[in-house]
Amino acid sequence: MKYSLKQKLTFSYVVIVIASIGFAVLFANVGIKNQFKHYAIQKQEKETEETINLIKMKYDEEGGFRSSYLDIIGMNSLQNGMILVIKDTKGGTIWSAYEHNNGLCQAMIKNMAINMSSYSNKWDGRYEEKTYPIMDHNAVVAELTTGFMGPYYFNDEELIFIKALNSILLFTGAASILLAFFLGIFMSARLSSPLKKISDKALFLARGEYKERIASDYNTREIKILADTINQLSDALMEKDRLRKQLTQDVAHELRTPLTSVQGHMEAMLDGVWELSNERLSSCYEEIMRLKKLVGSIEDLSALEDRNILLHKEEFEFSLLLERLLNNYEKELRDNRIQVGVEGDGIIYADKDKMSQVFNNLLSNAVKYSGEGAEVIITFKQAADSVEIQVSDNGSGIPKEDIPHIFERFYRADKSRNRNTGGAGIGLSITKSIVEAHGGSITVNSETDKGTVFTIILPGKAEG
Ligand code: ADP
């Protein structure tokens, strides 16, 4: 059986409180009993001493033992639970409570036994006697025997007081436990209710509902951290979900136009509206190849956006990477009479293939958007703990309003012109993701009809 946190907390709290209050009551009870026992024994001794002194004083005053005062002292002691017998040195009885009122003595002994048994069922007292000499000028004149319930006893009033004290103690204990029980429920509810809210929110997350946020103004540090973390998790999942939906929409949108165009061409040829020709088939084939390239780019982008990017970093010379790239562009550059200048060189610490992709994108854009006779310059600058690489061209430039968006996927600055250049608007998104995965940054500076400068900063080996 599973218990809720609230039940467990309440249970633990109540157990702790019952144990503490139980111990407190028990110790108080034992302490009171011991104190009273001590008090009863001392009282007994004091009374005996006072009785002896009184008899001695009266003996001196009256010039001997007289029943006139012995009756009063003896009966008074009997009232206090002490039975007196006074004998002379030869053993003859001078005064005896038994002889004076035997019935009262027996009743007294019985009452004391009943009192003490009712006080504690573990009481194993019995009737005890103690004998003391009564002196006159250093000579023993008589012996006083005191009889009482030992080792100690309580009279009626004392017993009522002790019982009342015990009842108060028990009542206080029970009331405290009851109070603790309700306080326990209240406090457990206070502690468990934010956790309940957080777990409800986690259930919402599991169902894909990310919008609702949990209040995180709790004053318990751990609960606040948990609430903040769940909110962050919720934001991250919401963003991921948004990106996924956006990507699906973008992809569908991007694929629809070329697919519709291929479909239209094919239908026209199948219906005999268009004559089947090599030229038309080649055009369809090119469109399909473009689609294939687009799908490849989308795959790259989705992997990069999912942060699944795995880098195999190594140190290599930047010029080697450029050399290979420029070889690929040789024909295109020559056909368009585009000049490429390279300034500076140095070592970079990065994933060679991914960096190839980055500079391939930048170079192809520079060529694509610069037109015949343009000039492209690539500069490399080494700083203390980073490298700065710039790719600049004197081409068409990017309109001001488009600059903030060009790194967004599927964004093209000039839609109609881009259809001709065949760009899908993915290249710069991929470039940015790769550069950022390396811990670097990419920025752009551009002016329409003047040219564009892309600046990449990559951290050196120590930082990267
Ligand atoms: P595309 O595949 O369309 O080139 P990119 O993501 O590489 O996609 O670039 C996004 C847009 O930024 C391009 O459509 C283009 O309008 C603009 N752009 C990128 N590089 C340049 C450049 N060197 N000169 C002018 N415009 C550029």
Q: Are residues 256 and 314 in the same domain?
A: no
Q: Are residues 293 and 334 in the same domain?
A: no
The predicted pLDDT at position 128 comes to 87
Q: Identify the CA nearest to 284 among candidates 268, 303, 261, 304.
A: 261
In a domain, residue 193? The reply is no
In a domain, residue 270? The reply is yes
Hey, which of 406, 432, 443, 455 would you mutate to test ligand 1's pocket, going by the most ligand atoms within 8 Å of its Cβ? 406
pLDDT in tens, 305-326: 665 577 899 999 999 999 989 9
In a domain, residue 242? The reply is yes
In a domain, residue 31? The reply is yes
The predicted pLDDT at position 286 comes to 87
**pLDDT score of 97 more than 80:** yes
- Atom number of ligand 1 nearest to Cα 393: 23
Domain count, the chain: 3
Highest-confidence segment of 162-166, 173-177, 442-446: 442-446
Average pLDDT over residues 197-218: 85
In a domain, residue 203? The reply is no
User: Residue 92: exposed, middle, or buried by beta-carbon count in 10 A (0-12, 13-18, 19+)?
Assistant: exposed
The residue written with tokens 């007294």 in the block is 108
- Between CA 347 and CA 317 the distance in angstroms is 4
Of the pLDDT bands very low, low, confident and very high (cuts 50, 70, 90), residue 398 is very high
**pLDDT score of 3 more than 90:** no
CA-nearest residue, atom 2 of ligand 1: 423
The predicted pLDDT at position 422 comes to 58
Cα(303) to ligand 1 centroid in Å equals 21
The residue written with tokens 């990449």 in the block is 456
**pLDDT score of 426 more than 70:** yes
Average pLDDT over residues 433-448: 94
Last residue of some domain: 104, 139, 172?
A: 172
Q: Are residues 329 and 411 in the same domain?
A: yes
Cα(413) to ligand 1 centroid in Å equals 7
CA-nearest residue, atom 17 of ligand 1: 413
pLDDT in tens, 63-92: 899 998 999 999 999 888 889 999 999 999
Mean pLDDT of the chain, nearest integer = 87
Using DSSP's 3-state secondary structure scheme, residue 240 falls into: helix
Q: Identify the CA nearest to 144 among candidates 219, 53, 222.
A: 53
CATH number for the domain that contains residue 269: 1.10.287.130
In a domain, residue 216? The reply is no
Q: Identify the CA nearest to 374 among candidates 338, 406, 409.
A: 338
pLDDT in tens, 14-63: 888 889 988 998 999 889 888 988 998 898 889 999 999 999 999 999 98
pLDDT in tens, 381-397: 998 899 999 999 999 99
Q: Are residues 273 and 373 in the same domain?
A: no
Last residue of some domain: 259, 284, 303?
A: 303
Q: Are residues 294 and 397 in the same domain?
A: no
Q: Are residues 227 and 275 in the same domain?
A: yes
The predicted pLDDT at position 58 comes to 93
Q: Are residues 286 and 339 in the same domain?
A: no
List the beta strands (DSSP E) in 302-406. 313-317, 339-343, 347-351, 375-382, 386-393
**pLDDT score of 125 more than 80:** no
Of the pLDDT bands very low, low, confident and very high (cuts 50, 70, 90), residue 151 is confident
Q: Are residues 367 and 247 in the same domain?
A: no
Cα(425) to ligand 1 centroid in Å equals 7
Contact indicator for 87, 146 with CB cutoff of 8 Å: no
CATH number for the domain that contains residue 417: 3.30.565.10
Last residue of some domain: 246, 272, 303?
A: 303
Residue-range definition of the domain harbouring residue 423:
310-459
What pairs with residue 161 in β-bridges? Answer: none
CA-nearest residue, atom 8 of ligand 1: 425
CATH number for the domain that contains residue 99: 3.30.450
Cα(423) to ligand 1 centroid in Å equals 7
List the beta strands (DSSP E) in 328-385. 339-343, 347-351, 375-382
In a domain, residue 178? The reply is no
- Between CA 111 and CA 333 the distance in angstroms is 127
Lowest-pLDDT range of 120-134, 279-293, 320-334, 444-458: 120-134
Q: Are residues 447 and 332 in the same domain?
A: yes
**pLDDT score of 420 more than 60:** no
- Atom number of ligand 1 nearest to Cα 430: 6
Q: Are residues 250 and 162 in the same domain?
A: no
**pLDDT score of 399 more than 70:** yes
Cα(383) to ligand 1 centroid in Å equals 28
Average pLDDT over residues 135-149: 89
Hey, which of 250, 403, 428 would you mutate to test ligand 1's pocket, going by the most ligand atoms within 8 Å of its Cβ? 428
Q: Are residues 396 and 448 in the same domain?
A: yes
In a domain, residue 180? The reply is no
pLDDT over 90 percentage in the chain: 35
Q: Are residues 347 and 250 in the same domain?
A: no
What residues flank ligand 1, with Cβ below 6 Å? Answer: 361, 365-366, 369, 393, 395-398, 406, 411-414, 418, 423-429, 452
The predicted pLDDT at position 464 comes to 57
Of the pLDDT bands very low, low, confident and very high (cuts 50, 70, 90), residue 444 is very high
The predicted pLDDT at position 339 comes to 92
Q: Which residues of 171-185 are buried (b: 16+ CB within 10 A; e: fewer)?
A: eebeebbeebeeebb
- Between CA 50 and CA 234 the distance in angstroms is 87
